[in-house]
Structure 1
Amino acid sequence: MRAAALLLVATLLAAAPLAPLGLAKGPKAKPERIDKILSQRFDVSRAQARTLIMHGKVTVAGAAVRSPKDKFDVDVDMEVTGLRRGTSEDAGPPRPQTVKSEPTDIKFSSLLLAYHKPVGVLSTLRDPQGRRDLTTELPGGIFRRFHPVGRLDADTSGLLLLSSDGDLTHRLLHPKHNVEREYIATIAWPRPEDFAADPTLTPTLTRVEGAAAPKMAPSGSLEELRERLAAGVVTTEGTFSARVVDGEEGWRNTKHGENVGWVQLAVAEGKYRMVRRVLMNAGHEVLGLHRVRYGGILLNDLRLPENEVTEVPQEMLGWAEDLLG
C-alpha cells in the first residue's frame, strides 16, 4: 500500500513539475488586440494601425492579419511594411514615416470618402502649430487623390467628406445647389420663465465668435424653436435659416443634465461656425455639435467608428453623381 502511494506521488510530480523555489511564474499576460499592440509598439495612432491592418500591411508568422480585433500575445513577432525603423540601437522604438507619404500604396477608387472626425482634430492638411489634423490621423496616401469637402470646426465631431473631384466639391459647397448638412446640437435650454427670473441659468449671453449677442430668451418649445429657425436668424454674417428635424427641450430631457436640451437640424450652407451662430442668436448656446449627414450620405448608415475613414459605397453615390450632371 505504501509503495502504491509513493508511485502515485511520483506520477503526479512527473505530470506537473514544480517551478524552482522562488522562481514561480506569475499569470501570463492576456492577449491584446493587434491594433493596440501595433499602435503602442510603433507609436502610430489606432486609426493608422487599423488602416495598415485592413490593407494587408501587418503579418504575423508570415500570414497577413485580417482584422484589427484579432488578439495576440503582446510580445508577438510581426512585420509591418511602410514603417521606418530607427538607425541605431538607442534610437528608440520604430517610428512611422511622415504620414503625408505613408502608406504609399493605399488606394481608393470611390468618388467620395467618409471620415468620422473626432473633437479636437482640425480639418486641415497641415497645422503650423503642430496640432492634430487630417494628416496626423489618416494615411497620407489618401491626399494624393482626395481633398476635404469644406471643414468641420475642431470642437465639432461627425461626418467629413473627402472628394476626388474638384467640380463635385464645388457643387457640394456652393449654396445654390442646396446640399443639406444635418447636425445634432446639444444646447442650453432652460424654461423661459426660469431664464427670465435668473438669466445665469444659461450661458447664452456669452458672445460666440462672429455671432451677435442673442436678443431673445430661449425658445418655449421645440415648435417655437422650429419657427424661429425657419423664419431666419440674424447674425453678423447675414440672415440664415435652418430646418428642425427633431429635438427635446431642456426640462423634458434628463440625459444631458438640467437645463440642457438637444436639436437635430439641417442647413444648406456651411459658413464658418454658422450653426453655432444661428442657435446662439435664437437664444441657445451650443454645448456640443455633431454632423450626422452630408447630402445623401448618413454617418449611421456607414457604421463608421470615430477617427476611421472609408469609401462611400456606390449605392450611396447616386445623388452626388446626379449633382455632377
Structure 2
Amino acid sequence: MMRLNKFLSRCGVASRRQADEMILAGRVTVNGEKITKLGLIIDEINDVVRVDEETVRLPAEESYVVLNKPKGFISSLADRYNRPTVIDLIKGVKDRVYPVGRLDLDTEGILLLTNDGELAYRLAHPKFDIKKEYVVTIKGLFPEHLTEKLEQGVKLEDGYVARSKAKVLSANESNSVLQMELTEGKKREIKRIFAALGYNVKSLKRIRFADISVEGMRPGSWRYLNRKEVLKLRRKVGLH
C-alpha cells in the first residue's frame, strides 16, 4: 500500500508536491474515480491510476538517461502538432522516462530523462542552483567587456534580471561564440538576454548539466547514467 502522491512520484510523473497539485486539480483518477483530496492510500499493484486519462504504472526500476538532443525535436512525451519528440530518439529505453526541464525546438545538447520524479523536480528547481553550460553563437561582434554586464545582470522585458557567467571563445564582425553558465534557466532565457543587448542568437547548444556532459556522443544518441553519476546528482540536491 502507498500514498497516491508517492506512487505518482515513483512513477516519474512528478514530485510529491507536484503530484498533490495534480490531485487537487482533478487530473488523477483511481479505478475510474476522480480524486481531489490528498492523503489517499492505494494498492500500487492492483489499483488502476490515470493522470490526464493516461494510465501510469510503477517502473520495474528507476532509469536515468542522458540524451544529446538534436535540433528539431520537442522536449516532451508527445506533441499535438505531431512534431518529433525526444521520446522518438530513445526507443531502446525499456522504462517510461520524462524530460528533466526542456530544451527549445531549435536548441541542441544535453537533456536528462528519468522516472525518478523527486530527483527530476529538484534538478529543475532553481533553489538547488544546478549549473547548466551552453555554447552560444550570436550574430555580430560581441566585445569582451560586455561579459561583465552578463554577470552583473541583464534586465529582461518582464522585469526579471538574468545573471550568467560568460566568456568569449571567438569574435569577429560576422559572428561571436560564447560559453555561458546559468543556474536558473527560465524559458528562452539566453535568447532573451542577447535580445535585450541587441543581438540575435544563431545557434544554442547545452554542453553540460550539473556534472554530466554529452562529450563524445553524436547528436541523437543516448546512454544510461552510471551509478556514480546518479549518486552524485542525488547528493547535489540533498537526496541520499
Length-normalised TM-score, structure 2: 0.69
Does 2:111 align with 1:160? yes
Q: Contact 1:250–1:262 at 8 Å: present in 2 too?
A: no
Quick check: which has more Rg, 1 or 2? 1
Offset at 1:249? Answer: 1.8
Change in CA separation of 1:125 and 1:182 when aligned onto 2, cut-off 3 Å: same
* 2:82 aligned partner: 130
How many residue pairs get aligned? The number is 179
Q: Contact 2:62–2:116 at 8 Å: present in 1 too?
A: no
Q: In the aligned structure 2, how far is the partner of 1:226 from the partner of 1:110?
A: 40
Residues 176-232 of structure 1, C-alpha deviations (whole Å, 9 max, x = no match): 110011110111123xxxxxxxxxxxxxxxxxxxxxxxxxxxx4x22x121010011
Q: Contact 2:60–2:95 at 8 Å: present in 1 too?
A: no
* 1:250 aligned partner: 172
Change in CA separation of 1:266 and 1:131 when aligned onto 2, cut-off 3 Å: same
Q: In the aligned structure 2, how far is the partner of 1:172 from the partner of 1:148?
A: 11
Residues 117-154 of structure 1, C-alpha deviations (whole Å, 9 max, x = no match): 1100111111111111123332175452x210011000
Q: In the aligned structure 1, how far is the partner of 2:131 from the partner of 2:90?
A: 26
Does 2:235 align with 1:235? no
Q: 274, 289, 304: which one pairs with 2:189? A: 274
Does 2:226 align with 1:313? yes
Q: What secondary structure does 2:80 align onto? A: coil
Q: 135, 140, 146: which one pairs with 1:225? A: 146
Offset at 1:112? Answer: 2.1
Identity between Structure 1 and Structure 2 (%):
28
Structure 1 unmatched ranges of 5 or more? 1-106, 191-218, 252-258
CA RMSD of aligned residues (A): 2.1
Residues 32-80 of structure 1, C-alpha deviations (whole Å, 9 max, x = no match): xxxxxxxxxxxxxxxxxxxxxxxxxxxxxxxxxxxxxxxxxxxxxxxxx
Residues 141-168 of structure 1, C-alpha deviations (whole Å, 9 max, x = no match): 5452x21001100000110100221111
Residues 273-315 of structure 1, C-alpha deviations (whole Å, 9 max, x = no match): 0111112212321100001000110111xx2221111101223
Q: In the aligned structure 2, how far is the partner of 1:138 from the partner of 1:120?
A: 15
Structure 2 unmatched ranges of 5 or more? 1-58
More helix by share: 1
Q: Which runs of 4+ in 1 moved over 3 A?
A: 107-111, 140-143
Change in CA separation of 1:170 and 1:233 when aligned onto 2, cut-off 3 Å: same
Offset at 1:111? Answer: 4.9
- Structure with more contact order per residue of length (Cα contacts < 8 Å, sep ≥ 6): 2
Partner amino acid, structure 2, of 1:152: L
Partner amino acid, structure 2, of 1:173: A
Q: What secondary structure does 2:176 align onto? A: strand
Change in CA separation of 1:120 and 1:169 when aligned onto 2, cut-off 3 Å: same
Q: In the aligned structure 1, how far is the partner of 2:219 from the partner of 2:121?
A: 26
Q: Contact 2:79–2:85 at 8 Å: present in 1 too?
A: yes
Length-normalised TM-score, structure 1: 0.51
Q: Contact 2:68–2:108 at 8 Å: present in 1 too?
A: yes
